C-alpha cells in the first residue's frame, strides 16, 4: 500500500519519499495500491477512449511537483504517459479543479477509482470507478454537492482556502462582488458621422472600461457562461482636423476654427454606467469567445476644445468647454470578444446615436481594444 497523507509521504518501511517517487511506485504497482494527495493546487481529470489521465500540481515542503498518471480501463496504470503516439488524449474535454482538499487514486487488478474531494459549505465529491472483467469494461460516475445552487463570491475573503476554481461544478448560479473585475482600454471611432466630423481611430480617442464591479452568472455547462455585469465606461471622441465641436444656441455644432488658429484638439467625452449581458463559450482551458449586448446609461457628457492664436508674446491659448450637450440617456452596444486568458480582445459596435440629434450632430460609436480580467473562465 502506498499513501501520501497530509504533507508527509509514508511507505511500508515508513521511509520518507518525495511525491514524484510515490507516484511512480503507485503507477508501477501490479497489485492493490492507493495514492492520496492532500491539498493539491490543481487537478485535471481527462477522459479518453482507454481510460483517464490524472494530472496533479502543487507544492510539497517547498518543492513544486507535477504528476501525470493514467488509469486504463483494464485496471493498469502508467506514469507520465504523454509521449507522442502512445495515447490519443482529448484534453479539450477535461475537468479542471483548483484547491481541492484531496485526490485519492486506488487500483486493483480489475478496478480503478478516482476521487476528488472538497469539504465545507461549497464542497463537492467527484467519484469515477472503472471495472473490467472478461466480458466488458464498465465506468461509473458520481458527483455530489454540499451546497445550494447559488454561490456568493467576495474577493480576499478566506483567500487561502476558498480560491475560486476555473471549473466550478458546485454552483450553477453565482453572485460575484469585485471577484470578476475587469479593466479595459481601447481606441474609439465613430460611424454614420454628420458632415464635417472626423472622429477616427488614429485621432487618439480612448475608451476606458471597468467591468463586473458586481455580476450574476449562470453556468448551464462546464465551459458555457451567461453573465449580467455592472460596470462603468468612459469614452473620448476626438477630432484633430480643421473642425471643432462648438456649443451655440443650446445646440452642439461642427464649426471651423478661427483664422490662424494653431489646433490642439476638440473632443466629446461621455461617461456611462453599463449593464453587460454576455454569453461566453470556452473553446479550451485558456481560450474562449463571447458576445452580447451592453446597455449604456449615459450619466454625463461634455465637450472640450483647445487651440492657440498668435505667436511669441502675443500667443494666446483658448479652452472652450460645456457639459450640457444633450447626450442620449440610454444607448446600446453589441460586443464580441476573443479571450486568451487573462486577456480579451474586444470589438464594440453601436447602432444608436450618441447625442440627441435635435441638439447635436449624428454619430454612432465603434471601439476596439483589450480587457484584462481578475477571474478565470
Rounded distance between C-alpha atoms, residue 355 and residue 357, angstroms: 6
**pLDDT the model gives residue 75:** 55
| Residue 210 or residue 133, greater confidence | 210
CA distance 118 to 31: 28
Give the span between the Cα atoms of 314 and 312, in whole angstroms.
5
Give CA–CA dist 231/251, Å, rounded.
Answer: 30
**Could you tell me if 117 and 102 are in contact, meaning their C-beta atoms sit under 8 angstroms apart?**
yes
Which residues have a Cβ under 8 Å from the Cβ of 67 and sit 6 or more positions away?
19, 20, 23, 37, 54, 55, 56, 57, 79
Whether the pLDDT of residue 209 is over 60: the answer is: yes
**In 3-state terms, what secondary structure has residue 176?**
strand
Nearest to 303 by CA among 248, 241, 258: 248
Task: Give the predicted TM-score (pTM) of the model.
Answer: 0.61
* Range ranked top by mean pLDDT from 48-52, 217-221, 231-235, 238-242: 231-235
Ranges 88-92, 183-187, 363-367: which has the least confidence: 88-92
User: Which triple of cell numbers denotes residue 78?
Assistant: 502508467
- pLDDT score of 147 more than 60: no
**What's the pLDDT score for residue 356?**
95
User: DSSP per residue over 319-364, as a string?
Assistant: EEEES---B-SEEEEEEEEEEETTEEEEEEEEEEESB-TTTS---E
Provide the pLDDT confidence category of residue 38 given band limits of 50, 70 and 90.
confident
Residue 329 has pLDDT above 50, yes or no: yes
Checking if the pLDDT of 222 tops 70, the result is: no
Burial 153-183 (b: 16+ CB within 10 A, else e): beeeeeeeeeebbbbbebbbebebeebbbbe
Per-residue model confidence as pLDDT tens digits over 45-91: 887 777 788 888 888 777 788 888 888 766 555 554 333 333 333 43
Establish whether the linkage from the previous residue to 181 is cis, with ω within 30° of 0. Answer: no
Contact in structure between 243 and 237 (CB atoms under 8 Å): no
**pLDDT band, very low/low/confident/very high, at 350 (cuts 50, 70, 90):** very high
Q: Quick one: pLDDT at residue 313?
A: 82
362 DSSP β-pair partners: none
Contacts 24+ apart (CB under 8 A), 159-166: 161/99, 161/120, 162/99, 162/122, 163/98, 163/99, 164/98, 164/375, 164/376, 165/96, 165/97, 165/98, 165/99, 166/96, 166/98, 166/285, 166/376, 166/377
Mean pLDDT across 196-216 = 91
Least confident interval from 14-28, 104-118, 269-283: 14-28
Q: Is the pLDDT of residue 293 over 90?
A: yes
Amino acid at each position: 500500500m502506498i499513501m501520501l497523507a497530509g504533507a508527509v509521504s509514508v511507505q511500508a518501511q515508513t521511509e520518507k519519499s518525495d511525491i514524484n517517487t510515490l507516484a511512480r511506485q503507485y503507477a508501477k504497482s501490479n497489485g492493490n495500491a492507493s495514492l492520496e494527495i492532500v491539498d493539491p493546487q490543481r487537478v485535471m481529470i481527462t477522459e479518453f477512449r482507454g481510460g483517464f489521465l490524472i494530472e496533479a500540481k502543487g507544492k510539497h515542503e517547498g518543492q513544486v511537483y507535477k504528476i501525470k498518471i493514467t488509469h486504463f480501463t483494464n485496471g493498469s496504470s502508467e506514469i507520465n504517459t504523454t509521449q507522442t503516439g502512445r495515447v490519443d488524449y482529448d484534453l479539450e474535454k477535461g475537468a479542471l479543479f483548483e484547491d481541492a482538499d484531496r485526490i485519492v487514486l486506488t487500483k486493483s487488478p480489475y478496478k480503478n477509482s478516482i476521487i476528488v474531494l472538497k469539504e465545507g459549505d461549497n464542497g463537492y465529491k467527484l467519484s469515477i470507478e472503472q471495472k473490467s472483467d472478461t466480458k466488458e469494461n464498465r465506468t461509473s460516475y458520481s458527483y455530489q454537492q454540499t451546497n445550494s445552487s447559488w454561490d456568493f463570491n467576495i474577493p480576499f475573503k478566506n483567500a487561502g482556502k476558498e480560491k475560486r476554481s476555473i471549473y466550478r461544478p458546485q454552483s450553477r448560479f453565482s453572485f460575484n462582488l469585485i471577484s470578476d473585475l475587469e479593466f479595459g482600454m481601447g481606441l474609439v471611432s465613430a460611424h454614420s458621422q454628420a458632415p464635417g466630423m472626423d472622429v477616427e481611430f488614429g485621432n487618439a480617442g480612448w475608451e476606458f472600461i471597468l467591468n463586473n464591479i458586481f455580476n450574476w452568472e449562470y453556468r448551464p455547462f462546464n465551459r458555457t457562461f451567461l453573465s449580467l455585469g455592472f460596470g462603468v465606461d468612459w469614452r473620448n471622441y476626438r477630432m484633430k482636423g480643421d473642425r471643432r465641436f462648438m456649443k451655440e444656441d443650446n445646440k452642439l455644432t461642427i464649426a471651423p476654427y478661427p483664422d490662424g488658429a494653431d489646433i490642439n484638439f476638440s473632443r466629446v467625452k461621455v461617461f456611462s454606467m453599463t449593464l453587460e449581458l454576455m454569453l461566453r463559450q470556452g473553446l479550451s482551458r485558456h481560450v474562449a469567445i463571447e458576445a452580447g449586448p451592453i446597455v449604456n446609461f449615459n450619466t454625463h457628457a461634455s465637450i472640450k476644445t483647445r487651440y492657440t492664436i498668435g505667436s511669441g508674446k502675443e500667443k494666446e491659448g483658448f479652452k472652450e468647454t460645456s457639459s450640457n450637450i444633450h447626450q442620449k440617456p440610454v444607448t446600446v452596444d453589441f460586443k464580441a470578444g476573443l479571450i486568451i486568458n487573462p486577456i480579451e480582445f474586444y470589438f464594440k459596435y453601436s447602432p444608436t446615436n450618441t447625442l440627441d440629434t435635435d441638439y447635436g450632430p449624428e454619430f454612432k460609436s465603434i471601439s476596439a481594444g483589450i480587457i484584462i480580467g481578475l477571474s478565470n473562465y
